[in-house]
């Protein structure tokens, strides 16, 4: 049989497919051009067979088995010999066409995927499944000729993928050097580790890790999280087994990193539909009310703007975009069953899913202008919780460890019966006692990835923090882990949070390591003499009128331009504006050193005089620990002479070289006081000729008085 | 709250969103077991002139650093506004090389540490500001107090009540012996209302039935006090200046709080239902009260020192 000719024939609408037709269909399905450069798996399972053949799974597998059986020689000592013989002509012709033996390899993978987990991975277990799918009698431990033939066929597929096609249809992820105990079945097992349906669920895994399309995570780290996630995810038995199998580690890492690299941000269900969230909305307006809001699928040209989805009841709802993230809220209020058991509505390509739960946590969503259910409580951010009444007492116990301020809101009739509502919750440290699984959503969770949370992040990229404000590290998963930062062990608190800010890290790059997972960040001591960029500066605008001023709100200041006439801008303590709009500055006060028991200030005009007793330092300054060295005076005249009364005598000092002027009119007491200052018996310091000359003039003026 | 770290972070960032600031406040506060809310921590930084907050756009911006003298402040200046670690280090280094300036750090329990510069000649401080490339204002307290605006709310007609009706609402009872917020069913009569919209609190003031305007809470309280013709501010004189005493239920609006803070450079102290701003000259206190529609009550008028220049004339008359 010329397999290549068979493959080129169009598939008949009914009846059986030939081996060549299956080979072509399998190649198109598992090795499409979209996988260029990425690991490709021949991971045939029942669902994939059905998808390829367009029938139900059992019929599809039967048809494939029938096609393969048509190439078998059951009575021969080597029933697979025909496949073996097809290899040489295919290779000598350049192997340009689809490998004709692909259906046999696919069935061997199917057999591997069907191995009962209870019986473990063992050749006898595998051969029994293979005999079943091939329709061979269950005699003997092995399938005659299998070991020799299959190793050549798998090598042929590797050659076709990696050499002939150069990875343009995907790169081989076939284990060609398995350990001795599974030497002959290792290749098939390596393809059965992740079924197609498992790989479709990896979108959910990446979302679980809060990754975004374009993110890059090392294989070791991904595999570590995959092992934790696989335990509870609805994966095939093979995938769960492979997750824990050290020998599958390298292949899994390649697949996980490759699938992450090409991930479009979507989570898909078994039918290949994009899975997006259906969130419960909560309005706390009186009376509180529940609703539903559907997330929008990640942007895709194939997704129309307005969708029509069908509920299980058959009811159709129209979904109109509200924002990039949300459709408009639905006019549906979930009841008790909907909350407990979950809800789903589908379009042809999208499944909107609300997972049932006994506890829903809500945070405020500004786009929807209400509270929206989230996966888990945020760390130290306000949230509300709707809890099945059966868990009310356990919720109260759990909330005892929340920040103060939460309260239970009594609701009559507005919410489904049997549910309790709590608001104003801020979850920080967790209680030492175990949290019931039903209330897990109330426990802040950073997913299972090493998560850097909080801290004082600087606007220098996404990983820069102020020294002393390094982030907290949240432990992945629920298992205890040791955290190391730059090789130093850091003990997490009871909430599973390690506070790096308490470590005293120096400025620079730091690496946080938890098992094989690691994250890096930088810490900076300072960003310099920072000023916000012009577009980010804020000022309080005061509109000035002739009488008073008025607050006009906030504006973004333009530092290159002064406020317009008639406006004053206040940034913190700095007021700016046109000189006419700003209050005139006060006169600079005279500062007098503490020490003398009193001062007398005298001006040029007789009668310009003040007497200032020295006061003790004010109470507020003493309390603050400020040493009060100066006092202040702001007389209404310009002081020319300062007389200081020291314990032993009066001293005088010239402060302004101003000649004496005409006496002030009126106020004989002031004139006498002014004259009295010049008769205290003190003189300017020797050597100050200018002061001595002026002093004589002032003495003359005093004599005249 | 680790106030110093919070101020350093806002200064180093320069600007950001309210969500970022709230998270930082909460995180820093959570480490000390302090239940002070993020809002009040941010508001406090704004009242001390360290940053500007715009609740409409939900953004904040660090305020420019400034050196300014204190009124009747014994030759003390303060360093206020944004304070990056680099600025702090340069300030310390520069001052240590000058004879006429001394830097004193004062730790505060509920605010970032205060930085005081003492000088005999304020020209030294002005030169320092020039050298650091920051603003010098000889007396920002005086300037700011003379810029304080009148209360001027924007109200408009809402025939059915303001848009947040339906949420938990309280009314400010300004006429009670101890004014405060009391739960109320609806918003109908003129007054000041506080509405809890999820975890935000919106304050609405209604001068006449059917007309409402959103107001900052502090301004709203003084609007309502003015409407009810009630004065609550006191000024207690001392030998040099005085203490402005503000009741706990009526905190000063941001700009007014800054003017009062600038008189001492210290955060106000709280206790016994009062907030006390020290070293506030009577003139500044009257400017603050006047712009809030308050008639200030002088605790003991016989001890009240007259305004700065007048006091000296009075003394000179008494002794000369």
Q: Could you report the per-residue pLDDT of B128-169, keeping only the tens digit for each?
A: 999 999 999 999 999 999 999 888 777 777 766 666 666 788
Per-residue pLDDT at A182 exceeds 80: no
Give me the pLDDT at residue B287, please. Answer: 93
Distances (CA, A) of A355 to A293, A421, A535: 13, 19, 43
448-467 in chain A: CB under 8 A from chain B? 454-459, 466
Poorest-confidence range of A114-118, A360-364, B1-5?
A: A114-118
pLDDT band at A5 (very low <50, low <70, confident <90, very high): very low
Cβ–Cβ gap A528/B57 under 8 Å: no
Cβ–Cβ gap A630/B30 under 8 Å: no
Cβ–Cβ gap B198/A466 under 8 Å: no
Does the CB of B208 have a partner CB in chain A at under 8 Å?
A: no
Report the mean per-residue pLDDT for chain A: 83
pLDDT digits (tens, 9 = 90+) for B216-261: 899 999 999 999 999 999 999 998 899 999 999 999 999 999 999 9
pLDDT digits (tens, 9 = 90+) for A613-670: 888 899 999 999 999 988 888 888 999 999 999 999 999 999 999 999 988 887 788 9
Query: Residue A31 half-sphere exposure, CB side, CA atoms within 13 Å?
Result: 25
pLDDT band at B52 (very low <50, low <70, confident <90, very high): very high
Choose the mutation target among B10, B22, B30, B74 for the interface with A, i.e. most A CBs under 10 Å: B74
ipTM of predicted assembly, 2 dp? 0.90
Distance of alpha carbon A149 from alpha carbon A187, whole angstroms: 12
568-627 in chain A: CB under 8 A from chain B? 568, 570-575, 582-583, 585-586, 588-589, 591, 593, 601, 609-613, 615, 617-621, 624-627
The pLDDT of B170-185, averaged and rounded, is 92
Give me the pLDDT at residue B46, please. Answer: 95
Distance of alpha carbon A528 from alpha carbon A531, whole angstroms: 9
Distance of alpha carbon B172 from alpha carbon A233, whole angstroms: 54
For every residue of A664-686, DSSP letters joined together read: PSS-HHHHHHHHHHTTSS--PPT
The pLDDT of A223-235, averaged and rounded, is 78
pLDDT band at A10 (very low <50, low <70, confident <90, very high): very low
Angstroms from A548 CA to nearest CA on chain B: 7
Per-residue pLDDT at B282 exceeds 50: yes
Cβ–Cβ gap B144/A570 under 8 Å: yes
Q: Which residue has the higher pLDDT, A688 or A572?
A: A572
The pLDDT of A197-223, averaged and rounded, is 80
Give me the pLDDT at residue B281, please. Answer: 94
Give me the pLDDT at residue A553, please. Answer: 63
Per-residue pLDDT at B320 exceeds 50: no
Of the candidates A302, A319, A212, the residue with the CA atom closest to the CA atom of residue A266: A212
The reply to whether omega before A366 is within 30° of 0 (cis) is no
The pLDDT of A85-107, averaged and rounded, is 90
The pLDDT of A509-537, averaged and rounded, is 82
The pLDDT of A166-184, averaged and rounded, is 83
Per-residue pLDDT at A300 exceeds 90: no
pLDDT digits (tens, 9 = 90+) for A429-444: 656 677 788 888 887 7
Per-residue pLDDT at A608 exceeds 90: yes
Determine how many CB atoms are found less than 10 A away from the CB of residue A689. 9
Residue in A536, A617, A618 closest to B15 by CB? A536
High-pLDDT (> 70) share of chain A, % = 87
pLDDT band at A34 (very low <50, low <70, confident <90, very high): confident
SS3 B57: coil
Angstroms from B289 CA to nearest CA on chain A: 14
Residue in B11, B13, B54 closest to A459 by CB? B13
| Residue B108 φ/ψ, nearest 5 degrees | -125, 140
Per-residue pLDDT at B309 exceeds 50: no
Cβ–Cβ gap A528/B82 under 8 Å: no
Cβ–Cβ gap B312/A674 under 8 Å: no
pLDDT digits (tens, 9 = 90+) for A113-133: 777 444 455 556 788 888 888
Poorest-confidence range of A488-502, A567-581, B69-83?
A: A488-502
| Residue A82 φ/ψ, nearest 5 degrees | -65, -40
Per-residue pLDDT at B79 exceeds 90: yes
Residue A95, exposed/middle/buried by CB under 10 A (0-12, 13-18, 19+)? middle
pLDDT digits (tens, 9 = 90+) for A364-379: 887 888 899 988 887 7
Please tell me the pTM assigned to this model: 0.69
Give me the pLDDT at residue A303, please. Answer: 58
Per-residue pLDDT at A403 exceeds 90: no
Q: 């092995």: which residue's tokens?
A: A142
Alpha helices per DSSP H over B205-268: 217-227, 254-261
Give me the pLDDT at residue A7, please. Answer: 39
Per-residue pLDDT at B60 exceeds 60: yes
51-80 in chain B: CB under 8 A from chain A? 51-54, 56-57, 59-64, 66, 68, 72-76, 80
Give me the pLDDT at residue B316, please. Answer: 31
Cβ–Cβ gap B26/A380 under 8 Å: yes
pLDDT band at B193 (very low <50, low <70, confident <90, very high): very high
Tokens of A591: 């500062």
């Amino acid at each position: 049989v010329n397999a290549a000719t068979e493959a080129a024939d169009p598939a008949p609408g009914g009846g059986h497919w030939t081996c060549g037709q299956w080979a072509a269909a399998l190649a198109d399905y598992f090795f499409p051009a979209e996988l260029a450069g990425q690991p490709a798996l021949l991971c045939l399972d029942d669902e994939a067979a059905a998808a390829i053949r367009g029938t139900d799974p059992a019929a599809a597998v039967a048809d494939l088995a029938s096609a393969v059986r048509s190439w078998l020689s059951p009575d021969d000592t080597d029933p697979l010999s025909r496949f073996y013989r097809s290899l040489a002509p295919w290779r000598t012709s350049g192997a340009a066409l689809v490998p004709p033996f692909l259906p046999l390899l696919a069935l061997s993978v199917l057999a591997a995927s069907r191995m009962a987990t209870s019986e473990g991975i063992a050749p006898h277990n595998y051969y029994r499944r293979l005999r079943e799918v091939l329709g061979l009698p269950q005699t003997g431990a092995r399938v005659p000729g299998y070991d020799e033939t299959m190793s050549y066929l798998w090598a042929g597929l590797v050659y076709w993928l990696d050499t002939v096609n150069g990875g343009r249809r995907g790169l081989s992820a076939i284990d060609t050097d398995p350990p001795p105990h599974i030497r002959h079945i290792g290749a098939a097992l390596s393809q059965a580790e992740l079924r197609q349906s498992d790989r479709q669920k990896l979108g959910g895994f990446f979302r679980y890790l809060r990754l975004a399309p374009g993110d890059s995570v090392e294989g070791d780290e991904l595999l570590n999280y995959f092992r934790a996630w696989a335990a509870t995810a609805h994966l095939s038995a093979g995938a769960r087994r492979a997750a824990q199998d050290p020998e599958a580690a390298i292949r899994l890492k390649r697949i996980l990193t490759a699938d992450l690299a090409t991930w479009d941000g979507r989570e898909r269900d078994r039918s290949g539909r994009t899975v997006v969230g259906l969130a419960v909305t909560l309005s706390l307006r009186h009376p509180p009310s529940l609703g539903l809001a559907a997330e929008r699928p990640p942007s895709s040209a194939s997704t129309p703007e307005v969708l029509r989805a069908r509920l299980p009841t058959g009811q159709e709802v129209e979904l109109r975009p509200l924002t990039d993230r949300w459709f408009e809220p639905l006019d549906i209020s979930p009841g008790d069953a909907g909350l407990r058991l979950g809800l789903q509505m589908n379009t042809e390509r999208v499944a909107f899913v609300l997972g049932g739960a006994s506890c829903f946590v809500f945070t405020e969503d500004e786009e929807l202008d209400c509270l929206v259910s989230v996966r888990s409580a945020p760390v130290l951010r306000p949230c509300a919780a709707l809890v099945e009444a059966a868990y009310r007492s356990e919720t109260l116990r759990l909330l005892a460890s929340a920040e103060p301020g939460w309260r239970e809101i009594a609701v009559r009739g507005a919410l489904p019966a049997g549910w309790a509502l709590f608001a104003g919750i801020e979850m920080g440290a967790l209680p030492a006692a175990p949290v019931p699984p039903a209330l897990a959503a109330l426990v802040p969770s950073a997913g299972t990835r090493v998560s850097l949370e909080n801290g004082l992040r600087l606007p220098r990229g996404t990983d820069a923090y102020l020294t002393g404000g390094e982030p907290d590290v949240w432990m992945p998963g629920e298992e205890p882990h040791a955290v190391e930062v730059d090789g130093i062990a850091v003990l997490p608190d009871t909430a599973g949070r390690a506070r790096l800010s308490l470590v005293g890290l120096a400025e620079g790059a730091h690496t946080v390591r938890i098992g094989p997972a690691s994250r890096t960040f930088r810490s900076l001591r300072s960003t310099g003499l920072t000023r916000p960029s012009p577009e980010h500066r804020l000022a309080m605008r005061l509109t000035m009128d002739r009488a008073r001023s008025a607050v006009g709100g906030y504006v973004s200041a333009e530092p290159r331009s002064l406020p317009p006439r008639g406006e004053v801008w206040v940034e913190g303590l700095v007021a700016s504006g046109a000189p006419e709009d700003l209050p005139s500055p006060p006169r600079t006060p005279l500062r007098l050193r503490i020490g003398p028991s009193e001062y007398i200030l005298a001006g040029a005009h007789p009668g310009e005089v003040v007497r200032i007793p020295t006061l003790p330092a004010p109470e507020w300054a003493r309390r603050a620990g400020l040493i009060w060295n100066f006092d202040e005076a702001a007389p209404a005249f310009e002081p020319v002479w300062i007389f200081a009364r020291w314990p032993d005598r009066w001293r005088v000092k010239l402060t302004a070289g101003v000649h004496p002027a005409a006496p002030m009119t009126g106020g004989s007491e002031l004139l006498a006081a002014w004259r009295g200052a010049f008769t205290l018996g003190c003189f300017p310091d020797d050597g100050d000729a200018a002061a001595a000359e002026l002093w004589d003039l002032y003495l003359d003026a005093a004599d005249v008085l | 709250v680790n106030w110093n770290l919070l101020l350093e972070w806002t200064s180093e960032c320069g600007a950001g969103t309210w969500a970022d600031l709230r998270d930082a406040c909460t995180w820093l506060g959570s480490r000390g077991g302090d239940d002070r809310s993020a809002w009040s921590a941010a508001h406090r930084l704004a009242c001390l002139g360290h940053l500007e907050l715009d609740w409409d756009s939900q953004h904040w911006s660090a305020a420019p650093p400034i050196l300014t003298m204190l009124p009747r402040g014994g030759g003390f200046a303060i360093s206020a506004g944004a304070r990056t670690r680099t600025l702090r280090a340069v300030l310390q280094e520069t001052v240590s090389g000058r004879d006429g300036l001394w830097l004193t750090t004062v730790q505060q329990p509920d605010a970032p540490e205060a930085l005081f510069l003492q000088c005999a000649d304020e020209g030294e401080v002005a030169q320092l500001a020039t050298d650091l490339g920051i603003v010098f204002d000889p007396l920002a307290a005086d300037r700011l107090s003379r810029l304080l605006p009148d209360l001027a709310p924007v109200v408009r007609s809402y025939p059915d009540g303001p848009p947040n009706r339906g949420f938990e609402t309280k009314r400010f009872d300004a006429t009670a012996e101890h004014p405060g917020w009391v739960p109320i069913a609806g918003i109908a009569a003129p007054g000041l209302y506080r509405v809890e919209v999820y975890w935000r609190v919106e304050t609405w003031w209604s001068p006449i039935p059917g007309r409402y305007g959103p107001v900052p809470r502090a301004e709203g309280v003084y609007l309502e006090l003015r409407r009810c013709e009630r004065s609550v501010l006191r000024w207690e004189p001392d030998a040099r200046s005085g203490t402005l005493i503000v009741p706990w239920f009526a905190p000063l609006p941001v700009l007014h709080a800054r003017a009062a803070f600038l008189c001492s450079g210290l955060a106000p102290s709280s206790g016994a239902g009062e907030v006390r701003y020290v070293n506030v000259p009577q003139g500044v206190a009257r400017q603050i009260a006047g712009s809030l529609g308050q008639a200030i009550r002088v605790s003991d008028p016989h001890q009240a020192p007259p305004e700065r220049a007048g006091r000296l004339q009075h003394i000179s008359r008494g002794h000369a």
